[in-house]
Chains A and B, each alone.
Chain A
Amino acid sequence: MAKSITQEFVKGLWDEIPPFRLVLGLCPVLAVTKSVENGLGMGMAVIFVLVCSNILVSLLRNIIPSKVRIACFIVIIATFVIVVELLMQAYTYPLFLKLGIFIPLIVVNCILLGRAEAFAYKNGVVASIADGFGIGIGFTLSLVSIGALREVFGNGTFFGMSVFGPSYQPFIFMVEAPGAFVCLGLMLSLMNLAGNK
């Protein structure tokens, strides 16, 4: 329990980085990482919802009766997800069109419920904010790196800019669904290789 705030933050970036270490929330990871931009947008949305729901859950942790805690978590998470959805529609409409159904699906993303249940419900507000930011940024980094890999090889572009020039034959497999699984698997194994020295 003696972990510092910095440790709570940093653990999300490597030790418990989702979805590589904390293998949760795979649905958006596989589905939206067709490009860097999508991954970044999704990651930002998740950071916002995660930090806000962590704050609220941790503030209310002494009021929420444990028997209905899951229901309360879902209400809190769902509220912030809809907030994100409305804001995205209002300010970044093209991104909203691309992410589509996966924004409302953040509600059922296990990372959010998992962090509320496993961390925010048992810890103070400041630690929960640090945890939310750490895990959220870790998730965004993962989405961006998978997105970058898939976009660079599958489309020959990075953030929509050409990388290899016009002569590059796109490796379409990478932007299709199977490519997502292969890419995630390879990155998972690399992470394990790096971690098991």
Chain B
Amino acid sequence: MREIIKMIVVLTVLSSFSGGLLAAIRGGTKDKIEYQQLVFVKGPAIRNILEGCSNDPIVDRFKIKDGDTERSFFVGVFDGKANTVAFEGIGKGFGGDIGLMVGVNIDDDKIIGMGVTTHSETPGIGSKAQTDPKFPNQFKGLAAIEPCKVKPDGGNIDAISGATVTSRGVCGGVTNAADIYKRLKPQIAEKIKAFN
């Protein structure tokens, strides 16, 4: 009996000590990890979308609370005016969620660029949504407040051949981003003033 109690006590103490240590380290590295992920995972897409801006969008970012989640917005300064934000949307693809970044000009509500950041689509087919610039370029200039669809569904986006599900997923992601934009526009307009 004593032996069993000793085992339980040792394991419990050891596990709680380990849990405490990990929680402390996680707390200490959280911001740093978030920044690193922004730089290396989303950074290239953000820079691509906000091409030609005069600031560093990864440093100039702000967060808005949207229900339970906190969304990050990256500010692009063009011609000395902070009038563009890039933010994330999520669509359902063929192999899982497709994460993408959409850049919107808040003066005329038009999409200035879109880029896929994370996906698990079929390499060489669905993955073209990320690698082939022709597909994302179609989203440029669309109105950010309207849902976006591929041509067979009544929209005006040419689907990637052989990857209709992925194309639909990307459109869904852009629509998702548009919904977020519509919902949060007053707050975005308020926050972006700080960067002017």
Residues of A participating in the B interface, judged by any CB pair closer than 8 Å: 60, 63-65, 67-68, 71-72, 75-76, 78-79, 82-83, 86-87, 89-91, 93-94, 97
Contacts and interface: CB of A to CB of B under 8 A. Distances in A.
A10 B11 CA distance: 34
Interface string B80-119: 0000000000000000000000000000000000000000
A89 B29 contact: yes
B22 interface: yes
Nearest to A79: B18
B22 A83 contact: yes
A83 B28 CA distance: 11
Given A72-B14, A78-B18, A89-B37, 7 more contacts: A63-B10, A64-B10, A68-B10, A75-B18, A83-B22, A86-B25, A90-B33
A90 B18 CA distance: 20
Interface residues of B, number: 19
Nearest to B31: A90
A89 B36 contact: yes
Interface string B8-46: 001100110010011001100100110011011000000
A interface secondary structure, majority: helix
Contact of A67 (B3, B18, B36, B39): B3
B7 A68 contact: yes
A86 B33 contact: yes
Contacts of A86: 22, 25-26, 29, 33
Contacts of B37: 89, 93
Contacts of A64: 10
A64 B21 CA distance: 19
Given A64-B10, A86-B26, A90-B32, A76 B18 contact: yes
Contacts of A97: 40
Contacts of B193: none
Given A65-B6, A67-B7, A75-B14, A93 B21 contact: no
Contact of A93 (B3, B10, B25, B39): B39
Contacts of A82: 22, 25
Scoring A60, A63, A93, A97 by chain B CB atoms within 10 A of each residue's CB, the highest score goes to A93
Given A78-B18, A82-B22, A90 B11 contact: no
Which 5 residue pairs spanning A and B have beta carbons closest together? A93-B36, A79-B18, A90-B32, A90-B29, A89-B33
A151 B11 CA distance: 44
A57 to B, nearest CB: 11
Nearest to B29: A90
Contacts of B21: 79, 83
A94 B7 CA distance: 41
Contact of A87 (B3, B29, B40): B29
11 contacts: A60-B14, A65-B10, A79-B22, A82-B25, A86-B33, A89-B33, A89-B37, A90-B33, A93-B36, A93-B39, A97-B40
Given A75-B14, A75-B18, A87-B29, A93 B40 contact: yes
Contacts of A60: 14
A97 B37 CA distance: 10
Contacts of A83: 21-22, 25
B22 A72 contact: no
